[in-house]
Amino acid sequence: MSNIRVDLYLRPIRFAFLVRPDDIKSTLEIFKINSCLWGGKFNPIIPYFKRLPIWWEKNSYKFENAKQVINGYFDFFEPDFLVEAEKGLADEYGFDPQRVIQLDDIFQCEGERGRAKYGLSVHDLYMGLYKREFQFQRRCQPNIVQVKAKDKAFENFVACNFGSFFNKMNLKYLEEDYKEVFNPVEIELDANALYRLYESDYCSALTLGHAEIKVNYYEHSDPTLFILDAHQSRDLIDFWNLRAVYRNVVAIPIEWIKELSPFCKNFILDNYRPIPGNPNRVMINPISMFSRSISEQDIKEIYQNYLQVDKVGANLLQTWYPPIWNKSPESMVRTTRPTLKAASNVLDVVVDSSKPSISFSTLFPEFANQFGNRIGWANVVRLNDYSFKDQVATVFPCDYKNSFFLKLGLRIESLLATTEGLVIFPEYRGTTEHWELINGTAAFNTWFENNNITATPSDAGRATQQIVQTLGGFLGVNSLAYKGVVQLLDEMSRKPTKSVHFQDFQNKINVAVTDDMRARMILETLVKQKVVELGLHIKCSKCSSSHWYSLKALDYSLICKFCLQQFNFPIIKPKDAKWAYRVIGAFAQPEYARGGYAASLAIRFFAHIIGKMHSSEITWSTAQELTLLSSDKIEADFILWSQRKQMFGLDYPTETVFGETKSFATDAFKRDEIDKMKSLAKLFPGSILVFATMKDPEELSKKELERIRKLAEWGREYDRERKQSRAPVILLTGIELFIPFHLAMTWEEKGGKHKELIKPAWVSTRLDNLRVLADLTQQLYLGMPSYGKWLEVKWQKKLKK
């Protein structure tokens, strides 16, 4: 049995709008659409271009192309649906065509019938707020405003900053709802009106659009003044996306910078203060950030005249736009979008590992109309296995662009696998989901099938699978994490009787495991989990041959396994019967259970040593023989999906891992095995390649190390399309496979270079990052420079050229 925790929460649909950054008309329509969508303020607007424009970087350095930037925005926001401002903008980005829609696919017009629309309009939200709060007379009236531009040139700025409604007659009802429910104060916006609004505690249509939603920010940015050109749609798009990510961003039109200067200076002085509760008096540093439309020449003068304050340390100028489309460096605090939660539920379910299934009721907005748009809201489902059984697949490749490759139960609607979790779109209120879960091998087989690859478990894979299952998961595999234990079990498997005297067995366990309590626990595990079976060695009175008999087979009369004659149990001479343990099942196979010990220890390393210890999880499969469309065959000793989990916020993208394992053989990693791992890396770009052996580092031959080093150098090359190294290589030795508990502690105790590499605090907390781990093991065992130094040398060579 396994214990599965189901974390479920409700949120709005997340749309990403793809638009040309200079398309003023479409940008205005997008602002209006999001003003009328539940949670629309947090929908990203992604600038579309074929080539990066000149204004994109003020320093003119362009390290990426337009497609990389746009894909970076997609990866950061992971939209449920992509909305094109022009048909065809999304054609080259690999989105499922069924999840690419147009601007007019969102709202139901007045009098329109049918449900083939998307998202939840504010109509239902306003009606819900009215019934709950606004139909009653309030003692203190809220400051709710409806802002309109005094000058038509500021219409887009108003819509971006405060929200705006449609002028179309068939959508006019949304503005009428807003006025009827909230009775807003109408304001014509100019510089003075904007000053008063910023000084007041106001609510606009855009603010009310995310009522009933708890916004959870995970970034640690400082309060920001974003100085922009209110007439440039690209600046408004930048502000929109910045506000969708960061907690406190205020738009300051450069056209009104003189009038707003007092507000800006007060904003800086009020926010420049120590972080509450910080004993070191680290300060909050408000930022004056300038948009990309404002030239470097103008920035200095504007900043000095209108923003700089007379307080030491309070002035912080930023002339570059945060590249939210790029992954955060590992040594920095990770920047992610906030999560939106309107309701949540947690279920702890006990499932049968042989036929696991879960059922749960979906969540829905209480204010939503039962028969609104077909896809009106989303539920996010996160699965976690807290039983340490590791039998149920809970980690999957993140692919927000296409529907999930697995069919969970009878569900036929779209389901997405993202860093947020598994995203579903319930069609009706209060529906119940019933999911049939599967194990890792079945999940991988379906995944390979979707990639036109046939996967078949190998004999070695079946042995590894049986080892893990016999030991009850990777907690049980911990009992094999001692070199003396696996050597004892292998020694027994090579004997004709496959057994050893019970006292000798216990003594050898005690020698292998120096801690007495731990040794008793391992002995108990091996016996209880039926790795070894207790029985008697009895000498035949007819032919004098000695054989092992299980407890179940013992009787007053026995059959000799050699001469096949019947003889009596030696009651008179009990010395002829000796108690002994015998290895059974997969453990009875020679050659270290056909390599199963090394494979199970390697998987256990990722599952528990850098997994549970660092809050990351895996879905795993043992050795599979993969048959390609070309009929070529490739075998991997183990395959993993590994994902770093976050208690709060978004998880990291899932890594795919292919592993090759060896026991103690000399010069074991041959050229053909290196080549097959390289082939897997080409088939699945960006995957992690692992070579694991139970040998100590000094026992690896020079030829083995040279072969692996060449592959590691190839894998370090940068994949421009994926914006990451091509195939990081991890080398695990007996030091790692036989770790009792914690990698950082073991390396520190090892001393020398191991201790030196683990010394920086940021390293020891990021060992679950497989790319960091690859860099460290390459330095330790392959004699390679750090990835940073290697990149620096490459960069210097390019500069010389």
pLDDT digits over 536-546, tens only? Answer: 888 777 787 77
Residue pair 47/237 in contact (Cβ under 8 Å)? The answer is: yes
Q: CA quadruple 343, 348, 353, 356: dihedral positive or negative?
A: negative
Alpha-carbon span 36 to 52, nearest angstrom:
31
* End-to-end Cα distance, the chain: 62
Q: Which residues contact 495 (CB under 8 A, 6 or more apart)?
A: none
Instruction: Return the beta strands (E) in 79-155 as ranges.
Output: 81-84, 100-102, 145-149
Torsion sign over Cα 18, 24, 25, 31: positive
The residues facing 144 across adjacent strands are 203
Query: How much is the pLDDT for 114?
Result: 53
CB contact at 8 A, 451 and 682: no
**pLDDT, average across residues 414-420:** 90
Per-residue model confidence as pLDDT tens digits over 586-642:
999 989 999 999 999 999 999 988 876 557 789 999 988 998 888 888 999 999 999
Q: Is the confidence at residue 759, as pLDDT, over 90?
A: no
Q: Given this model, what pLDDT does residue 268 score?
A: 96
- pLDDT average, residue stretch 529-552: 83
- In this prediction, residue 765 carries a pLDDT of 79
Taken as a whole, the chain contains a residue count of 801
CB 43 within 8 A of CB 14: yes
561 pLDDT above the threshold of 70: yes
CB 430 within 8 A of CB 462: no
Q: Please determine, for residue 111, whether its predicted confidence score (pLDDT) is greater than 70.
A: no
pLDDT 10s digits, 480-517: 999 999 999 999 999 888 889 989 999 999 999 988 89
CA 390 – CA 468 distance, rounded (Å): 9
Buried b (16+ CB within 10 A) or exposed e, 64-96: bebbbbbbbbbbbbbbbbbbbbeeebbeebebe
Element (H, E) at 47: strand 45-47
Contact present, 652 and 419 (Cβ < 8 Å): yes
Q: What are 627-680's pLDDT values in tens digits?
A: 888 888 899 999 999 999 887 789 999 999 999 999 999 989 999 999 999 999
Half-sphere exposure of 270 (CA within 13 A, CB side): 10
pLDDT of residue 514: 84
Between the CA of residue 97 and those of 89, 100, 338, 373, what are the distances in Å?
12, 5, 27, 19
Q: Judge contact between 405 and 446, C-beta under 8 A.
A: yes
Q: How many CA atoms lie within 13 A of 169 on its CB side?
A: 1
pTM above 0.75, yes or no: yes
pLDDT at 125 over 60: yes
Task: Give the DSSP per-residue string, 686-740.
Answer: T-EEEEEESS-GGGS-HHHHHHHHHHHHHHTSEETTTTEES--EEEE-HHHHT-S
Average of per-residue pLDDT across 370-388? 83
| The pLDDT of residue 58 | 73
* Amino acid present at 22: D
Question: What stretch of H or E contains 290?
Answer: strand 287-290
Q: What is the pLDDT of residue 191?
A: 96
Residue 720 has pLDDT above 90, yes or no: no
* Residue 647 or 402, more confident: 402
Please give the Cα distance from 55 to 774 (Å, whole number): 38
- Other beta carbons less than 10 A from residue 766's beta carbon: 18
pLDDT classification of 201: cutoffs 50, 70, 90: confident
Strands (E), 332-491: 339-341, 343-351, 357-361, 377-385, 415-418, 421-424, 432-436, 454-457
What is the per-residue DSSP string for 456-495?
EE-HHHHHHHHHHHHTTSHHHHGGG-SHHHHHHHHHHHHS
Closest-CA residue to 362 (of 375, 348, 349, 343): 343
**pLDDT value at position 20?**
97
Regarding beta strands 655-662 and 688-693, do their DSSP bridges make them parallel or antiparallel, or are they unpaired?
Answer: parallel
Cα–Cα dist 547/479, whole Å: 28
Vertex 432: Cα angle to 428 and 435 (nearest 5):
125
CA atoms within 13 A on the CB side of 456: 8
502 contacts: CB under 8 Å, gap ≥ 6: 534, 579, 580, 581
Q: Cβ distance 537 to 492 under 8 Å?
A: no
